[in-house]
């Protein structure tokens, strides 16, 4: 009995500590600028969340950035999942030589820190004219999203019975017909899960957004929010926090 009480108490305390930053963020985002005293507050002082959110939206010009992020997250995640599904089909179903080597070659993209890719990507985008363009940032997002999506879909394809492929080949189906008519429909659950993961990642991505773009017409919403945070002396922390809460909802 005592052990159960101690365990439950520890869980509650840890949960409260984990939720404390979120609580402080919500409370301070509701504080109006006229009541803000320059330091975080523990208790709500009125409700000015929507006023702060409107101020953040206007100061950071977040409308364009939100549309940019929505386009990046939707298009890039979908393209990455399609490419990953094709790669998974090739390694699991088709008679490819050294499938283990190809698997680790693709999956290794998730094992390296993103900072490793910054310098070559920046140089390549500048030399090709893709710096600060939707296409340039979109290509980077697709390339970054492919390895994890490949891992998810490929592992799902390994669970499908080999008899499905054998029956299709005996009926004279080509590899493309097998992929389009059999394996692609069967892989929809895994593709949906991979798409959700990658959509959330692209929406919340900041690192490449601030290094490969600078104009408001191209930068994603998290980069725009970072720029807004850099002008705290103008808009104030409550406005920044309200904007952060608003743009983090889809992710």
Query: How many residues comprise the chain?
Result: 251
Residue 231 pLDDT > 70, yes or no?
no
Helices (H) and strands (E) in the chain, counts: 15, 0
44-69 mean pLDDT: 80
- Pair 84, 195 in one domain: yes
pLDDT of residue 251: 62
Q: What is the pLDDT of residues 187-203, one digit of tens each?
A: 999 999 999 999 999 99
- Pair 134, 202 in one domain: yes
- Pair 179, 222 in one domain: yes
Classify residue 247: in a domain, yes or no: no
pLDDT-above-90 percentage for the chain: 33
Classify residue 241: in a domain, yes or no: no
Largest interatomic CA distance in the chain: 76
Residue 250 pLDDT > 50, yes or no?
yes
Dist. CA 236–CA 86, nearest whole Å:
48
Residue predicted with more confidence, 28 or 101: 101
- Pair 40, 69 in one domain: no
16-22 mean pLDDT: 83
Residue 138 pLDDT > 90, yes or no?
yes
Classify residue 26: in a domain, yes or no: yes
50-78 mean pLDDT: 86
Q: Which of 30-39, 191-200, 240-249 has the lowest mean pLDDT?
A: 30-39
Domain residues for 34? 2-47
For 230, list phi and psi in degrees, rounded to 5.
Answer: -75, -10
| Residue 234 binned pLDDT confidence (cut-offs 50, 70, 90) | low
- Pair 67, 8 in one domain: no
Residue predicted with more confidence, 175 or 84: 84
Classify residue 144: in a domain, yes or no: yes
- Pair 43, 67 in one domain: no
- Pair 99, 19 in one domain: no
Q: Which of 117-121, 140-144, 161-165, 204-208 has the lowest mean pLDDT?
A: 161-165
Q: Which of 36-50, 108-122, 152-166 has the lowest mean pLDDT?
A: 36-50
Any long-range contacts for 226-231 (C-beta under 8 Å, 24+ apart)?
A: 227/60, 228/56, 228/59, 228/60, 228/62, 231/59
Residue predicted with more confidence, 3 or 222: 222
Residue 94 pLDDT > 70, yes or no?
yes
Cβ proximity of 123 and 131 under 8 Å: no
pTM of the model: 0.83
Classify residue 245: in a domain, yes or no: no
Residue 172: how many other CB atoms lie within 10 Å = 7
- Pair 99, 193 in one domain: yes
177-186 mean pLDDT: 88
pLDDT of residue 99: 85
- Pair 198, 111 in one domain: yes
pLDDT of residue 229: 67
Look over the chain and give the mean of its residue pLDDT values, rounded to a whole number. 85
Dist. CA 205–CA 118, nearest whole Å:
14
CATH number at residue 69: 1.10.3720.10
pLDDT of residue 232: 46
- Pair 158, 199 in one domain: yes
- Pair 100, 213 in one domain: yes
pLDDT of residue 196: 95
Alpha helix positions (H), 93-220: 99-107, 115-128, 134-157, 162-170, 175-178, 184-186, 188-204, 207-211
Burial code of 50-84, b = ≥16 C-beta within 10 A, e = fewer? ebbbebbbebbebebbbebbbebbeebbbbbbbbb
- Pair 191, 99 in one domain: yes
Classify residue 79: in a domain, yes or no: yes
- Count of structural domains, the chain: 2
Classify residue 211: in a domain, yes or no: yes
Classify residue 125: in a domain, yes or no: yes
**Strongest mean pLDDT among 143-147, 178-182, 211-215, 240-244:** 143-147
Residue 101 pLDDT > 80, yes or no?
yes
């Amino acid at each position: 009995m005592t052990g159960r009480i101690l365990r439950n108490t520890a869980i509650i305390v840890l949960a409260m500590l984990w939720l404390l930053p979120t609580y402080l963020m919500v409370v301070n985002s509701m504080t109006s600028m006229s009541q803000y005293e320059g330091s975080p507050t523990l208790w709500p002082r009125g409700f000015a969340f929507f006023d702060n959110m409107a101020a953040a939206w206007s100061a950071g010009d977040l409308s364009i950035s939100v549309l940019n992020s929505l386009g990046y997250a939707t298009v890039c995640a979908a393209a990455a999942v399609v490419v990953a599904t094709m790669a998974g089909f090739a390694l699991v179903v088709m008679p490819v030589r050294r499938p283990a080597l190809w698997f680790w070659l693709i999956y290794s993209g998730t094992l390296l820190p993103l900072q490793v890719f910054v310098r070559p990507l920046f140089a390549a985008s500048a030399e090709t004219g893709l710096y600060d363009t939707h296409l340039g940032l979109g290509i980077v997002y697709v390339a970054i999203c492919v390895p994890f999506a490949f891992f998810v879909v490929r592992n799902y394809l390994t669970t499908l019975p080999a008899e499905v492929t054998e029956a299709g080949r005996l009926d004279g189906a080509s590899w493309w017909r097998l992929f389009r008519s059999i394996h692609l429909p069967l892989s929809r659950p895994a593709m949906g899960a991979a798409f959700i993961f990658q959509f959330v990642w692209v929406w919340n991505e900041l690192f490449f957004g601030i290094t490969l773009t600078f104009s408001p017409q191209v930068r994603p919403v998290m980069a725009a929010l970072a720029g807004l945070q850099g002008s705290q002396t103008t808009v104030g922390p409550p406005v920044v926090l309200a904007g952060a809460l608003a743009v983090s909802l889809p992710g």
